[in-house]
């Protein structure tokens, strides 16, 4: 399928915890509930950029909205009874697996057509519709407001992107099931309970009914109820299964904080209990300075015998969490970690080589993959292209070159963007895709990409053009790519 590492604004993939019900969303500052009305013109609106679902390597951060969020129930004068919407969506019996099978094939195909039609209409008013959804949710269920961060600027964008992702994956039961199961596990850290899903479903469909009136009707409503029931149950089942074997979150003490540049810190933490993960994966992270605001970061090393975890964090303008981690965090501070997620992992049963493209702090999970291959004790070719805007951004180049000196099967090529002043002697000048095209052939390699969404998109196009099938290209910015029609 499809990584993410470093700065605020997380891709996710993965997906890292992102979806239909996203309290305390990973990367979502501020949007204030509307006082006294549910009219779309006065419903909550944010002021930030649409960056919250990008992934750990996305070197952008939503702009914080000024002021404080309204207290729970502030919009009590609104009139939800005027909303044309269905009753709460029911919760189905537990599913047998993570594969979403909402109905027989023919009914599922018909449902997909109806749902996509309503989403196409909804997309024309997506900002108003999702603002209305949150206003309605907080008015009718004010107890849920405290589960969200005080600032919700990009919550609107996150919800709609997650809707698009689920709708576009609706016909692929296995892929959608995996996506939703990951969401369900990740939502445990927010305190999400099965009883919350009907409330969200009720308000969600009321918003769709209001902002997609042409396509809405009894058949469309029934299709949405079936789909939402199957989707929510998949998330509930995944959370219940995960609860039997893992905590909802881990506390982790910072044991090392190293500034590599004024904007980039390498942070090592010690979890309070064993933290199982695989090289190439990522997690969500909460700081004590911004409660209920989470960001995604990739692990910068393979699992270690001492159990320590390392992250690369780049501070970005208006980056609440990233700035706190780089400038404020110190050894002894305790962070909170969500569960591991992500599919950018190595299949050690295969003999194919690895072609790895890492941009900026996206080099962190690439380094972890190299360590993972080395730990297997079975040589296989690994080619790393380390892209940066300037020499200054090659903050981990010495580490990568030391790994190259130790392993004959590893090749590391730094690439500095064309126009940068005096590229380092060992660096290639130009854009990352062009540098990759100069070498090869790559058709026998598996592709691994980690960095900002734009880099991942162009990287995927480049690797496919060089003969690597898309199913052998891995990254974890599924949400962003699907939402943009990839």
Q: In the structure, what pLDDT confidence band is assigned to residue 163 with cuts at 50, 70 and 90?
A: confident
Indicate the average pLDDT of the chain.
78
CB 319 within 8 A of CB 51: no
Using only C-alpha atoms, what is the Rg of the chain? 22
pLDDT at 202: 94
Q: How far apart are the first and last CA of the chain?
A: 13
Residue 93 has pLDDT above 50, yes or no: no
Q: In the structure, what pLDDT confidence band is assigned to residue 126 with cuts at 50, 70 and 90?
A: confident
Residue 62 has pLDDT above 90, yes or no: no
CB 86 within 8 A of CB 211: no
- CA 53, CA 349: separation in Å to the nearest integer? 32
**410 vs 170: which has the higher pLDDT:** 410
Q: In the structure, what pLDDT confidence band is assigned to residue 2 with cuts at 50, 70 and 90?
A: very low
**pTM of the complete model beyond 0.75:** no
> Mean pLDDT across the stretch 68-87?
31
Residue 304 has pLDDT above 80, yes or no: yes
Which strand (E) or helix (H) includes residue 312? strand 309-314
Residue 419: C-alpha distances to residues 74, 104, 166, 393 (Å):
53, 57, 41, 14
Q: For residue range 143-154, list pLDDT tens digits in order.
A: 988 887 766 665
Top mean-pLDDT range of 97-106, 124-133, 252-261, 336-345 = 252-261
- CA 169, CA 179: separation in Å to the nearest integer? 9
Residue 109 has pLDDT above 60, yes or no: yes
Q: Is 452 helix (H, G, I), strand (E, B) or coil?
A: coil
Lowest mean pLDDT among 171-175, 302-306, 322-326: 171-175
pLDDT at 419: 59
pLDDT at 323: 94
Residue 396: C-alpha distances to residues 93, 294, 321, 434 (Å):
49, 25, 22, 22
Q: In the structure, what pLDDT confidence band is assigned to residue 298 with cuts at 50, 70 and 90?
A: very high
Residue 59 has pLDDT above 50, yes or no: no
**69 vs 380: which has the higher pLDDT:** 380
Lowest mean pLDDT among 74-78, 98-102, 172-176, 449-453: 74-78
Name which of 471, 374, 422 is nearest 1 in CA terms.
471
Q: In the structure, what pLDDT confidence band is assigned to residue 182 with cuts at 50, 70 and 90?
A: confident
Q: For residue range 4-20, list pLDDT tens digits in order.
A: 445 443 333 333 333 44
pLDDT at 1: 39
Instruction: Delineate the domains of the chain, giving CATH numbers in brackets.
Output: 40-243 (1.10.490.10)
Torsion angles phi and psi, residue 143, rounded to 5: -65, -20
- With a pLDDT cut of 70, the percent of the chain lying above it is 73
Residue 74 has pLDDT above 80, yes or no: no
Residue 85 has pLDDT above 70, yes or no: no
Residue 89 has pLDDT above 60, yes or no: no
pLDDT at 327: 95
Lowest mean pLDDT among 139-148, 305-314, 334-343, 369-378: 139-148
Burial readout 271-292 (b: 16 or more C-beta within 10 A, e: otherwise): beeebebbbbbbbbbbbeebeb
Q: In the structure, what pLDDT confidence band is assigned to residue 291 with cuts at 50, 70 and 90?
A: confident
- CA 371, CA 389: separation in Å to the nearest integer? 25
- CA 449, CA 464: separation in Å to the nearest integer? 13
Q: In the structure, what pLDDT confidence band is assigned to residue 175 with cuts at 50, 70 and 90?
A: confident
**Token match 């052998």: residue?**
472
- CA angle, 357 as apex, 353 and 362 as ends, to 5°? 130
- CA 62, CA 319: separation in Å to the nearest integer? 7
Q: For residue range 272-281, list pLDDT tens digits in order.
A: 999 999 999 9
Lowest mean pLDDT among 27-36, 269-278, 327-336, 459-468: 27-36
pLDDT at 155: 60
> Mean pLDDT across the stretch 461-482?
81
What is the phi-psi region of residue 342: left when phi exceeds 0, alpha when psi lies from -120 to 50, beta otherwise? left
Residue 125 has pLDDT above 60, yes or no: yes
pLDDT at 425: 54
- CA 182, CA 17: separation in Å to the nearest integer? 7
Q: For residue range 27-55, list pLDDT tens digits in order.
A: 333 222 222 234 333 333 332 222 222 33
Q: For residue range 340-385, list pLDDT tens digits in order.
A: 988 899 999 998 999 999 999 999 999 999 999 999 988 899 999 9
**335 vs 478: which has the higher pLDDT:** 335
Residue 397 has pLDDT above 90, yes or no: yes
Residue 424 has pLDDT above 70, yes or no: no
Q: Is 353 helix (H, G, I), strand (E, B) or coil?
A: strand
For CA atoms 276, 456, 51, 428, give the dihedral sign.
Answer: positive
């Amino acid at each position: 399928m499809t990584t993410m590492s470093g700065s605020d604004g997380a891709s996710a993939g993965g997906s890292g915890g992102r979806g239909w019900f996203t309290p305390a969303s990973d990367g979502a500052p501020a949007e204030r509930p509307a006082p006294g009305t549910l009219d779309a013109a006065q419903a909550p609106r944010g002021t930030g950029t649409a960056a919250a679902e990008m992934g750990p390597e996305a070197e952008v951060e939503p702009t914080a909205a000024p002021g404080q969020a309204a207290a729970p129930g502030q919009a009590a004068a609104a009139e939800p009874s005027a909303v044309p919407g269905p009753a709460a969506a029911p919760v189905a019996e537990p599913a047998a697996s993570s594969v979403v099978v909402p109905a027989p094939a023919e009914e599922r195909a018909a449902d997909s057509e109806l749902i996509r039609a309503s989403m196409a209409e909804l997309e024309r008013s997506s900002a108003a519709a999702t603002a209305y959804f949150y206003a309605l949710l907080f008015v009718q269920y004010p107890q849920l407001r405290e589960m969200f961060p005080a600032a919700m600027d990009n919550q609107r964008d996150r919800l709609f992107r997650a809707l698009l992702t689920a709708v576009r994956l609706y016909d692929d039961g296995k892929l959608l099931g995996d996506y939703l199961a990951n969401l369900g596990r990740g939502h445990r850290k927010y305190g999400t309970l099965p009883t919350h899903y009907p409330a969200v479903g009720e308000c969600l469909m009321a918003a769709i009914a209001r902002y997609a009136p042409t396509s809405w009707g009894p058949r469309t409503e029934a299709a949405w109820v079936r789909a939402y029931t199957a989707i929510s149950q998949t998330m509930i089942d995944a959370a219940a299964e995960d609860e039997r074997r893992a905590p909802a979150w881990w506390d982790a003490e910072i044991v090392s904080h190293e500034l590599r540049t004024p904007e980039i810190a390498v942070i090592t933490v010690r979890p309070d209990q064993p933290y199982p993960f695989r090289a190439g994966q990522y997690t969500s992270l909460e700081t004590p300075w911004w409660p209920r605001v989470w960001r995604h970061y990739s692990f910068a090393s393979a699992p270690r015998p001492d159990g320590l975890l390392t992250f690369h964090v780049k501070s970005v303008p208006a980056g609440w969490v990233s700035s706190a981690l780089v400038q404020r965090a110190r050894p002894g501070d305790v962070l909170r970690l969500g569960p591991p997620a992500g599919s950018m992992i190595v299949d050690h049963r295969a003999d194919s080589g690895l072609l790895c493209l890492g941009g900026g702090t996206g080099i962190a999970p690439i380094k972890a993959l190299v360590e993972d291959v080395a730990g297997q004790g079975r040589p296989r070719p690994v080619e790393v292209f380390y892209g940066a805007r300037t020499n200054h951004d090659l903050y981990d180049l010495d580490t990568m070159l030391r790994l190259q000196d130790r392993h004959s099967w590893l090749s590391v090529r730094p690439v500095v963007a064309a126009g940068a002043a005096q590229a380092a002697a060992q660096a290639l000048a130009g854009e990352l895709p062009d540098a990759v095209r100069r070498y090869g052939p790559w058709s026998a390699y598996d592709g691994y990409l980690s960095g900002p969404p734009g880099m991942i998109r162009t990287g995927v196009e480049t690797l496919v053009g060089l003969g690597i099938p898309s199913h052998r290209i891995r990254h974890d910015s599924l949400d962003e790519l699907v939402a943009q029609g990839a």
